[in-house]
A and B are shown apart, each in its own frame.
Chain A
């Protein structure tokens, strides 16, 4: 993935404001769509959104940095979020975590240099009866085992 051209961002922001409206209450949906499309929210994008919504860029920055699913740094095409909360932990999260790190060559919190994968931990994703569980972008994977993880990663590579 390459860093998007500023013109592309200007157009995208304009489109989104048209879709959702320019009121402050529409800030999150706009940010979420930018995040989904570009994999992060650049300084330029934050300024552009602030300008179009008539709020201070610092306000937008404050919102982006509050939410763990929004980021100011580029993320991978596939964001892998492994649940580290207690029920998944009891169900064997550690073995899955090790497998993910080894197969991806990444530590938790890192993004691969080709921007294909980001590996993160997250908190409970509401799959506690079927743990260990993880999300890859918006898809959920449950009852993970090391061999299942290897297969999932192979399919994405």
Chain B
């Protein structure tokens, strides 16, 4: 397992005992602390965690659930795997803290099938927590009861979307639901449910252990705290990095030893492609939001091939429930193939960009809403390269 390397502030995060602390607070106090920290969801969308927890806490129901989203399917992301395997305590006790905060009785970890090799390790860890009274009945001698069950996914990217994930937990096809109603009201089996990313639970642990003020020292106005970034592609030191929100793309490239860079894909297949002319932009919810995937391309890379790889991904992973996404992604992929063959006119390319914009608005879930992102940003930012591809064509004429 790789270790979290070259982190900037990781030492200071040294963990403390958050569970003890949380259980001495009231659930409201825990939620308020999380809210005050400014913590926003680390899965990508950045919904304020404190607000989500408050909605679930105030929802009236005899049963409530916590779900840890460990489906980590976004191409280029692996920080959740590292957290689960090396910072297990932060994640698992973060889930217990979430359960206490909303007064739930049960939590699930939805672990992607590709990570099945972590199942036994995590289950043993949970068993140890039960023995140490950190899970199960009367946690740490209080009257709070809470247990966690691990559920495996079965190889479907869309199941990372929170409502598709809940469908999957309920034994159905992983097809996204209409929202509203939101899971905080109507989640697993119809009960109030919070779904949060692995890293969000680890951050919540840190917030409780170190305090909201400490946490919000880092980051920007609207993006508080540190962010784990998974770096891969053309650079000397790929791996997981911990950086403050607001870090410039340029700074990140330096940190990871990227040279001769042509472009950086931020946010995975559903993110955007940033050309070198824009590397002064920063990673934050104000500018370039991301769940943490950064993929670097050097000057030798063919951006059309990169785009094709992403579009094939979406065509295969679309659940097919709604038309803009099911048909739209196929059309965009065909467009890439036309570009490869030198048969895509500039006019048709513009029509495809318009189609992409329609998909962003009309698709039912985040998959179809964000799948046009790489298409639009790559054909816009690398138009010369892509159109010269089209003039020369594959067979060259």
Contacts and interface: CB of A to CB of B under 8 A. Distances in A.
Interface of A: 23-29, 31-32, 62-63, 66-70, 84-87, 89-90, 122-131, 135, 138-140
5 contacts: A23-B171, A25-B189, A85-B76, A128-B77, A138-B117
B185 to A, nearest CB: 19
Contacts of B230: 128-129
Given A23-B171, A90-B234, 16 more contacts: A24-B171, A31-B154, A62-B173, A63-B172, A69-B154, A84-B309, A86-B75, A90-B301, A123-B157, A123-B313, A124-B74, A128-B230, A128-B232, A128-B233, A130-B238, A135-B114
Interface in B325-358: none
Nearest to B235: A129
Given A28-B168, A68-B155, A70-B154, A85 B297 contact: no
Given A126-B72, A126-B77, A28 B151 contact: yes
Interface residues of B, number: 52
A135 B173 CA distance: 24
A90 B76 CA distance: 12
Nearest to A131: B232
Contacts of B245: none
Contact of A86 (B2, B112, B240, B306): B306
B326 to A, nearest CB: 14
A140 B154 contact: no
A115 B73 CA distance: 29
Given A129-B78, A129-B231, A129-B239, A66 B301 contact: no
A139 B231 CA distance: 23
B66 to A, nearest CB: 16
B155 A69 contact: yes
A123 B75 contact: yes
Contacts of A25: 169-171, 189
Contact of A28 (B171, B234, B301): B171
A68 B295 contact: no
Nearest to A67: B154
Given A128-B230, A129-B2, A129-B239, A86 B170 contact: no
Interface in B217-272: 230-234, 238-240, 265, 269
Given A87-B76, A129-B230, A67 B155 contact: yes
B310 interface: yes
Contact of A67 (B169, B174, B295): B174
Given A67-B155, A90-B233, A123-B313, A26 B171 contact: yes
B215 to A, nearest CB: 26
A89 B114 contact: no
B34 interface: no
B173 A66 contact: yes
